Amino acid sequence: MRCPLCGLEFSEAEAKRVCQGCPLDSGCRLICCPNCGYQIPDEPAWLMRLRHRRHRHRGAPAGVGRHRIATCTLAALEPRQMAEIVRVCSEDAMTLRKLMALGLLPGVRLMVLRRFPCYLLQIGHAQIALDRPLAETILVTTAESSSQVR
């Protein structure tokens, strides 16, 4: 398994060791990351099969069409650029907790409003300010429109 927040790869046995002290251990359907504590819902078997089938029968390869997918850090984005968080690349537990508390989790869509004196992000109706070291720990994907790629 891989944690979507910190990227740590771990086994189910390691995840169960984290949950041993929890009172909901027997009936809980969450998997906890041993590094950051991020809780991942256990994926049902039918959803795994559907995802595998969809991945196997995917039509066009990535990068074909009107948009090209680019991956970079949040610090590399320009103002008014939209992005989606892929992963947080930090091993510091306090940094991960801080970003989780702010709602900066994998899958969240955001827009950079400005870069100086701090990074100002728009997430839904909320605005969040980050310094450069925090912005450099967040890996995002952007869809760049490209007329050359067909």
Task: Count the domains in the chain.
Answer: 2
Strand segments (E) across 74-137: 82-88, 109-114, 119-123, 126-130
Q: Are residues 93 and 36 in the same domain?
A: no
pLDDT at 10 over 70: yes
Of 26 and 36, more confident = 36
Look at the pTM and tell me if it is higher than 0.75.
no
Strand segments (E) across 42-94: 67-73, 82-88
Q: Which domain holds residue 48?
A: 12-56
What pLDDT shows up at residue 144?
61
Q: Give every CB contact of residue 131 below 8 A, 6+ residues apart in sequence.
A: 118, 119
Q: Are residues 52 and 18 in the same domain?
A: yes
Q: Give every CB contact of residue 31 below 8 A, 6+ residues apart in sequence.
A: 1, 12, 15, 39, 40, 41, 42
**90 in any annotated domain:** yes
Of 56 and 38, more confident = 38
Q: Dump pLDDT digits (tens) for 75-128.
A: 999 999 999 999 888 888 888 888 888 889 888 999 999 999 999 999 999 999
**3 in any annotated domain:** no
Of 73 and 40, more confident = 73
In terms of Cα–Cα distance, which of 7, 3, 32, 1 is closest to 89?
A: 7
pLDDT at 62 over 70: no
What pLDDT shows up at residue 129?
95
